[in-house]
Amino acid sequence: MYGDVVMGLKPASKEEEDPFEVLIDELKHKRGVSNDTDLTTDDLKELVASFKAAIKAQTGEEFPVNPWDQLWGAVGAVFGSWMNDRAILYRKLNNIPAEWGTAVTVQAMVFGNMGTNSATGVAFSRDAATGENLFNGEYLINAQGEDVVAGIRTPQQITLEGSRRWAAAQNVSEADRASKFASLEEVMPTVYKELFDIQHHLETYFKDMQDIEFTIQDGKLWMLQCRNGKRTGAAMVKIAMDMLAEGLIDEKTAVLRVEPEKLDELLHPVFDKAAMKSAQVVTKGLPASPGAATGPVVFFAEDAEKLLNEKGQRAILVRIETSPEDLKGMLDAAGILTARGGMTSHAAVVARGMGKCCVSGAGDLQIDYKARKITVGSHTIKEGDWISLNGSTGEVYLGQVATQAADLSGDFGKLMDLAKKYSVLKVRANADSPKDARQAFEFGAEGIGLCRTEHMFFEGDRIKSVREMILADDEAGRRVALAKLLPIQRGDFEGLFRVMNGHPVTVRLLDPPLHEFVPHSEKEQREMAQEMNIPFEKVVARVESLAEFNPMLGHRGCRLGNTYPEITEMQTRAIIEAALDVRKSGVPVHVEIMVPLVGNHKELRYQKAIIDETAAMVFTERNDKIDYLVGTMIEVPRAAVTANQIAEVAEFFSFGTNDLTQMTLGFSRDDIGKFLPVYLEKGIIKADPFQILDRNGVGQLIREAVFKGRGTRENLKCGICGEHGGEPSSVEFCHFAGLNYVSCSPFRVPIARLSAAHAALKEA
Ligand code: PEP
Ligand code: MG
């Protein structure tokens, strides 16, 4: 270890084996033995000499024999390790501020490798994968701590119960288990009892699940360290709710114990039960970190990174074992599969921390890094072949296995109830279809904060009518096409109103530049010409005339509705008619109509006049009425600074922080990737402003707009519907800025709900 960590004798390339392991293997081969423990004292002396020679040969330095030199070498290596890339990533993942330094503690050592009456292990006071209140962990007789986590020897379970479960999962008979893999509880009952009592004491004292490391030196138990244990999202929720029920912590603490982002793991699908029946299990390892993952196989961390960056695809990272060098690749992978290592191996611990599905210690896998393939039984799996992992059972399947939605009842439901109890902000969803709306509603959304009507335009055949409208020569032609769209849009809105059952639904009028909808290929343009019975050249000319140099700042948003009022008329009619129809059927409806991209109050006044006139017309025709609000997006900086004028017309504000960020920073939403990595690296900006709200710039505009808007209209409802609405730190900002709600994509609704509660509790 000193040769590796301090002196830097490492594998020459990623494909090579550890040089020390190579020397050990060579000697074992020479002696004809298979276990390290079969080597004699003389063998070990020979090995030490060959280790020293290898270090000298590769590093040019003698192995130090003076203990002071050794100690300084070790201290230096600890400080050095704090500066390297993986330490930087580690600090990022664990939210350790960059400015924190480190200290080195030098202490006397106890030895778990002093014979068969010595051992070492790692334990958790509760199950870090599922949260079950069950003391568990792994140990090795006659070993040092590194041996347990390195995954070189397969550790044994600490408790009898854990040992039996492990044996059942591994198909090990009870007789074999008891003779070869006995638990600490059986092997050293007195020490076990002491360990059990200590872990219980520690958990009660710290009021959180503990991750403890211990060594038994010649029958005496030594505690090495304890800390709050890392856990999966599922375990985080269960432990918090269990500890609340046990009276160990109160409601507020329970809410604060769950990191909002971690909920993400619970919300995503698990394997579909039906698909599982036909899925072919190819091997089984340990259920190291739960969930379902499917993807193409890669063998090296950088390939997982590459696949995600270049193809947007998440891989299954397959390794003999993982090391801290693999962190980034693990983060980018869908799941991790290792051939070696137990439940506390590097892969298992890190994957749980990341909430990644992981199967560890699948010992039947023969991984050949050079040939980039796995052999398992009669199967060969090559790089790029798909496999699927079940991190909750340890099963590995050939191919892609279908998934199904997660179960959101029980502890999750209780946590969400508590989040609601302690939140001030309401949470809505951005949804454009009844399916998304239903999903959002199930996650507890209290309304739809943004329905992007244009998303409905692409479904099925309707794009043809949309194109007909865009390609028309004049208003009369546009009206013909719009008349075809009216019943379709009405149907869309009806679906949303029904699902939301009286909760507010904010429908935004058409926003994107028209050029986004027109046919671009010659084939499509010819089809369109035929459909509309006009010359092909005319279609081409019209498409060309719509092209803009800077479409995001071009003919879009309310500029469309103000130049083509008939579009606003059609959309308003569809919204109001749908609302009346749904209400007539006995379902309550709460309508909000939202105008995009307003920068000048007059733009909104024109749109509001059209909306009100159209609604009044429908009311007369139907001899019926319904309340509705007309509001605006605040997504142009000018709208924010003139919010006092805009609020004279707008009955609500919704901050479109995607465009507001784009226009405030002058960073293109679509092209930021070219310079963002450099800006982050140089520290010019701290985070991607399209993910985490830029509080000092965009945030100040939001504060100003809320202040000025409410100066005009005292109880002006304000929300946010940009992507930031589902990001915890941005939700916190929204709370402090006094918004009424945040709106985000359906799968982020629970994260936003919990973030909203955190913000309120932190303020309190
Ligand atoms: C926004 O700009 O933040 C917004 C929600 O609108 P879109 O993303 O559709 O431009
Ligand atoms: Mg926008």
Q: What is the mean pLDDT of residues 706-711?
A: 98
- What Rg, from alpha-carbon coordinates, does the chain have? 31
Closest ligand to residue 597's CA = 2
**Residue 743: helix, strand or coil by DSSP?**
strand
Clarify whether residues 444 and 398 are in a common domain: no
pLDDT tens digit string along 370-393?
Answer: 999 999 999 999 999 999 999 888
Active site residues: 346, 721
Q: What is the pLDDT of residue 213?
A: 95
Share of the chain above pLDDT 70, in %: 98
How remote is the CA of residue 512 from the centroid of ligand 2, in Å? 9
Ranges assigned E (strand) in 415-457: 426-430, 448-452
Please indicate, yes or no, if residue 628 is contained in any of the structural domains: yes
pLDDT tens digit string along 681-692?
Answer: 898 999 989 989
Nearest CA to ligand 1 atom 10: 659
pLDDT tens digit string along 433-449?
Answer: 898 899 899 899 999 99
Q: Which of 151-155, 484-488, 549-553, 570-574 has the lowest mean pLDDT?
A: 151-155
How remote is the CA of residue 556 from the centroid of ligand 2, in Å? 10
How remote is the CA of residue 68 from the centroid of ligand 1, in Å? 62
Clarify whether residues 652 and 611 are in a common domain: yes
Please indicate, yes or no, if residue 74 is contained in any of the structural domains: no
Q: What is the mean pLDDT of residues 96-102?
A: 70
Closest ligand to residue 657's CA = 1
Clarify whether residues 493 and 590 are in a common domain: yes
For residue 192, CA distances in Å to 135, 216, 518, 545 come to 11, 10, 72, 80
Clarify whether residues 358 and 438 are in a common domain: no
Clarify whether residues 348 and 465 are in a common domain: no
Domain that holds residue 139: 119-231
From CA 754, how far away is CA 569, in angstroms rounded? Answer: 39
Please indicate, yes or no, if residue 263 is contained in any of the structural domains: no
Q: Return the ligand 1 atom nearest residue 662 CA.
A: 2
How remote is the CA of residue 659 from the centroid of ligand 1, in Å? 6
Nearest CA to ligand 1 atom 6: 656
Q: Return the ligand 1 atom nearest residue 655 CA.
A: 3
pLDDT tens digit string along 273-320?
Answer: 778 778 899 999 888 887 899 999 999 999 999 999 888 899 999 999
From CA 83, how far away is CA 93, in angstroms rounded? Answer: 15
Please indicate, yes or no, if residue 601 is contained in any of the structural domains: yes
- Which bin fits 142, alpha (ψ -120 to 50), beta or left (φ > 0)? left
Q: What is the pLDDT of residue 269?
A: 65
Please indicate, yes or no, if residue 695 is contained in any of the structural domains: yes
Q: Return the ligand 1 atom nearest residue 722 CA.
A: 3
Residue 560: pLDDT band (50, 70, 90) is: very high
Closest ligand to residue 670's CA = 1
Nearest CA to ligand 1 atom 8: 658
Residues having CB within 6 Å of any atom of ligand 1: 450, 452, 511, 635, 656-659, 721-722
**Residue 139: helix, strand or coil by DSSP?**
strand
For residue 671, CA distances in Å to 134, 212, 283, 674 come to 50, 47, 44, 6
Q: What is the mean pLDDT of residues 589-617?
A: 98
Q: Return the ligand 1 atom nearest residue 452 CA.
A: 9
Q: What is the pLDDT of residue 455?
A: 78
How remote is the CA of residue 459 from the centroid of ligand 1, in Å? 20
Total domains in the fold of the chain: 4
Q: Which of 75-79, 93-97, 539-543 has the lowest mean pLDDT?
A: 93-97
Clarify whether residues 336 and 481 are in a common domain: no
pLDDT tens digit string along 109-126?
Answer: 899 999 999 999 999 999
pLDDT tens digit string along 247-273?
Answer: 999 999 999 999 998 897 787 668 887
Q: What is the pLDDT of residue 110?
A: 93
653 pLDDT above the threshold of 90: yes
pLDDT tens digit string along 124-165?
Answer: 999 998 899 999 999 999 998 777 766 667 789 999 999 999
Q: What is the pLDDT of residue 324?
A: 73
Contact between residue 232 and residue 265 where contact means Cβ atoms under 8 Å apart: yes
Nearest CA to ligand 1 atom 9: 452
Clarify whether residues 466 and 595 are in a common domain: yes
Ranges assigned E (strand) in 471-606: 504-508, 590-595
Please indicate, yes or no, if residue 530 is contained in any of the structural domains: no
Return phi, psi of residue 13, to 5°. Answer: -145, 170
Please indicate, yes or no, if residue 475 is contained in any of the structural domains: yes
645 pLDDT above the threshold of 80: yes
Q: What is the pLDDT of residue 197?
A: 98
Clarify whether residues 131 and 203 are in a common domain: yes
How remote is the CA of residue 658 from the centroid of ligand 2, in Å? 6
Residues 6+ apart with CB under 8 A from 720: 449, 654, 655, 657, 702, 730, 734, 739, 741, 742, 743
- The CATH number of whichever domain residue 342 belongs to comes to 3.50.30.10
- The CATH number of whichever domain residue 624 belongs to comes to 3.20.20.60
Q: What is the mean pLDDT of residues 496-507?
A: 97
Clarify whether residues 290 and 383 are in a common domain: yes
Q: What is the pLDDT of residue 181?
A: 93
- The CATH number of whichever domain residue 150 belongs to comes to 3.30.470.20
Chain centre distance of CA 279: 26
From CA 135, how far away is CA 195, in angstroms rounded? Answer: 10
H or E element at residue 74:
helix 67-81
Q: What does the mean pLDDT of the chain come to?
A: 91
Clarify whether residues 491 and 558 are in a common domain: yes
Nearest CA to ligand 1 atom 4: 656
Please indicate, yes or no, if residue 612 is contained in any of the structural domains: yes
98 pLDDT above the threshold of 90: no
Q: Return the ligand 1 atom nearest residue 721 CA.
A: 5
Clarify whether residues 630 and 707 are in a common domain: yes
352 pLDDT above the threshold of 80: no
Clarify whether residues 555 and 582 are in a common domain: yes
pLDDT tens digit string along 68-79?
Answer: 999 999 998 888
Using DSSP, how many helices (H) and how many strands (E) does the chain show?
Answer: 33, 26
